[in-house]
Amino acid sequence: MQTQHADPRREKYLKMTTTPVEQLILKLSVPTIASMLVTAAYNLADTYFVSTIGGREGTYSVAAVSVAFSVMALIQAFGFFVGQGSANTISRLLGRQDVPKASELAATGLFCAGVLGLLILILGEIFVAPFAGLLGAKEAFLPHTVAYLRWIFAAAPFMTCSFCLNNQLRFQGNAVYAMIGVVSGAVLNVALDPIFIKVLHMNAEGAALATAISQTVSFLVLLAGTFRGDNLRIHLNRICLSAENLLAIIRGGLPSLLRQGFAALSVTTLNNMAGIVGEATQGIDAASLIAAFGLVSKIMTTANYVIIGLGQGYQPVCGFNYGAKLYSRVRKAFWFLVKATAAWCLVVVVFGELFASRVVNLFPDAEPLVKQLAVTILRFQCATFFVNCWVVPSNMSQQTMGWTASASTLAMARQGLFLIPFALVLPRLFGLIGLEIAQPLADFCTFLLAIPLQARVLRHLSQPDGEAEA
């Protein structure tokens, strides 16, 4: 049997703990940022091409896509739960040169992702109509939402597996393979959107079909990537559903599940409250307000993808070096990430506040009321965007290092602890303005919580290299 020391991957893994962290982060961040921006492009493409339908039909279709975003977030939650749950541990195992155990965990994680995706498909297809209503779809655009969701549910197993493999490849330090998988699906999605939406006149349903096909192709490309280069091979005979492996996945992935799960719940809450506020506010209808929040969500998600891309380049560096107990390198990498994301946040804040109208006009065929509402919402959300330069690096550090309790608390803070209560209470007190300020207030409260949580982590990382983990 081949020994760990003879493994050809050993030299590469050693480089992860010896190359300057700034160089490593930038090298790993370039493909992850590229893949995230491409992902943002095809997310925007769905909304853009749907908005070009124009008129009420266009607004209803955009509202349907906005409501269905909760389901996309839920599917991503389970994919990231298993993907990051296995990948965080994989990176630490590779930092300790334990390749066989890492390979076993990779196969087990992918199997679990497929099972969860299959469960989502079955339950989603059975209860699609009541589920759409629960998410906030009103009678006027309920048929659009149901048609969209059927295709998304059909592709759920491929999507959860795709998110899982993407994370596993990144945490092995092979971000290029992860990028190829994401980009291939994204390019296909952008190409199919106008065909299904405009040429075949499938409207919102066409956008969902394009997404389903592209996500399936992305999964197949990512799976092929696991059998190339020095990536861990996925073999069915390495699946091991032991208590140890399942606990590692749960501990490592719980923050992602809480983060994405509460994101889905918060979007549902916002959509339902937007419907209530829209119906109660003179001159505004529910579909227009939901569509406006949907447009801004896609814009802000795009801006946030750069931060996430930088953080994803940081995570394998953090995991490898924390596993090797090189705490000084982890500290240095963390502060480099904070500075890099702060620079990007400053650009977004300035640009968003000064040019909000021009940004919203990227959707020229949206109704005037939708664009008017979106401009105000965008300016409010840009006001507190800067806090992400501390919150995101802190949460990624804690999760990658295996600090499950702290990472889980911070992961659910923005969407669960703050945004959902604010979205439920503030609109009832202040009407439309209360709904608009709910998200920026949640951002600021999350920042205040993140300061002491990450300060504790940094104190732990101040111990000499090689000391036992806490």
Q: 431-467, pLDDT tens digit by residue?
A: 899 999 999 999 999 999 999 999 999 999 988 876 5
* 167-173-175 Cα angle (round to 5): 60
Tokens describing residue 407: 């990472």
Select from 169, 202, 159, 225 the least CA-distant residue to 46: 202
Tokens describing residue 10: 């050993």
CA distance 243 to 247: 6
Q: Cβ distance 42 to 214 under 8 Å?
A: yes
Torsion of CA 350, 374, 368, 208, to 10 degrees: 120
Residue 86: how many other CB atoms lie within 10 Å:
29
Which residues touch 411 (CB under 8 Å, ≥6 apart)? 255, 256, 258, 259, 262, 395, 399
Q: Which residues of the chain have pLDDT under 70?
A: 1-13, 39, 42-58, 175, 466-470
Residue in this structure with the two tokens 């809480």, named with its chain if needed: 258
3-state secondary structure of 468: coil
Select from 176, 112, 123 the least CA-distant residue to 154: 123
Select from 445, 50, 379, 444 the least CA-distant residue to 211: 50
Identity (one letter) of the amino acid at 201?
A: H
Residue in this structure with the two tokens 């006009």, named with its chain if needed: 361
Q: Identify the pLDDT of residue 207.
A: 80
CA distance 162 to 129: 26
DSSP result, 398-459: HHHHT-HHHHHHHHHIIIIIIIHHHHHHHHHHHTHHHHHHHHHHHHHHHHHHHHHHHHHHHH
Torsion of CA 314, 443, 156, 234, to 10 degrees: 20
Instruction: Look up residue 238 and give its DSSP letter.
Output: G
Select from 457, 325, 318, 352 the least CA-distant residue to 28: 318
Select from 465, 257, 291 the least CA-distant residue to 365: 291
Instruction: Look up residue 199 and give its DSSP letter.
Output: I
The CA–CA distances, whole Å, from 414 to 259, 293, 298, 391 equal 8, 17, 18, 10
Q: Cβ distance 30 to 126 under 8 Å?
A: no
Q: Give kind and range of the element (H or E) at residue 305.
A: helix 286-323
Q: Identify the pLDDT of residue 468.
A: 47
DSSP result, 323-351: HTT-HHHHHHHHHHHHHHHHHHHHHHHHH
Select from 180, 177, 164 the least CA-distant residue to 229: 177
Q: Identify the pLDDT of residue 116.
A: 94
Residue in this structure with the two tokens 């801006």, named with its chain if needed: 303
Q: Identify the pLDDT of residue 442.
A: 95
Q: Identify the pLDDT of residue 43.
A: 67
Residue 316 backbone dihedrals phi, psi, to 5 degrees: -65, -35
On the 0-12 / 13-18 / 19+ scale of CB atoms within 10 A, 215 is buried
Tokens describing residue 27: 């090298």
pTM reported for the whole predicted model: 0.71
Select from 461, 213, 225 the least CA-distant residue to 334: 461
Q: Identify the pLDDT of residue 46.
A: 67
